[in-house]
Amino acid sequence: MSRNPSVDFQIYRGNTANIEGVVKFNGTVFDLTGVSMFFSVKKDPDDTALVIQVTSAGSLTYPDAVNGKYKIALSNSDTDIAFGNYHYDLVLKTLTNEVVTIRRGIFQIYRAITDPSTTA
């Protein structure tokens, strides 16, 4: 994992988005059966307030847990935040209560041209 976050996700404000991936450790797929995962977004890493949080108790699912596949479903209300750069991480809590940050970086919200709430 790089120490310098890069822009990983670019989403238009108020749009729905799916973020999908596979968890691997040392090149080997990690079975996600029974684990907990947390996708958190903050404006600044030192902020205490979360701008977005999606968990495995909600819209973070495992379409193929045995093969390490996860899906984060962001709703239009999740991404209806001020445009700009945010910081995110994706954390996994194993069945033995180990906590591992498996991904982090920059989450970017673009200004949308069309406001769906004002269209017919």
Question: 86: buried, middle or exposed (CB in 10 Å: 19+, 13-18, 0-12)?
Answer: buried
What is the reported pTM? 0.87
List pLDDT tens digits, range 74-88.
Answer: 999 999 999 999 999
**Domains, the chain:** 7-112 (2.60.40.10)
Q: What is the CA radius of gyration of the chain?
A: 15
In whole angstroms, give the CA distance from residue 82 to residue 61.
Answer: 26
pLDDT of residue 8: 87
